[in-house]
Amino acid sequence: MRAEWPDAARQAAEEFAAGAISAPVALMRLALAGLSEEAITAALEEDERLAPLLALARRQGSGLRRLEAMVRSGAGHGPGGSPDDAVAASRAMFDRLVRISPEASVAAYSLGDPALLEAASAEVTAWLHGLELLEGRPRILDLGCGIGRMAQALAPHAGGILGLDVSVGMIEVARARCAGTPGVEFALTSGHGLEELPSAGFDLLLAVDVFPYLVQAGGAVAERHVADAARLLGPGGSLVILNYSYRGIGQDRADLRGMAGRHGFALLRSGTRELALWDAHAFWLRRGSP
Segment 175-196, tens digit of pLDDT: 999 999 999 999 999 999 999 9
The dotted CATH code for 114-287 is: 3.40.50.150
Task: Give φ, ψ of 164 to 5 degrees.
Answer: -120, 145
- On the question of pLDDT at 197 being above 90, the answer is yes
Q: Region 259-285: what's the mean pLDDT?
A: 97
Rg (CA), the chain: 19
| Adjacent-strand bridge partners of 203 | none
Q: What is the pLDDT of residues 32-50, one digit of tens each?
A: 998 999 999 998 998 999 9
> Boundaries of CATH 3.40.50.150 in the chain?
114-287
What b-and-e string marks burial along 145-158, b requiring 16 or more CB atoms within 10 Å of the CB? bbbbbbbbbbbebb
Predicted confidence at residue 290, as pLDDT, reads: 53
Q: How far apart are CA 95 and CA 66, in angstroms?
A: 15
- On the question of pLDDT at 1 being above 60, the answer is no
Q: How many CB atoms lie within 10 A of CB 127?
A: 16
Q: Region 137-153: what's the mean pLDDT?
A: 98
- On the question of pLDDT at 80 being above 70, the answer is no
Per-residue three-class SS string for 123-146: HHHHHHHHCCCCCCCCEEEEECCC
Q: How far apart are CA 66 and CA 192, in angstroms?
A: 30
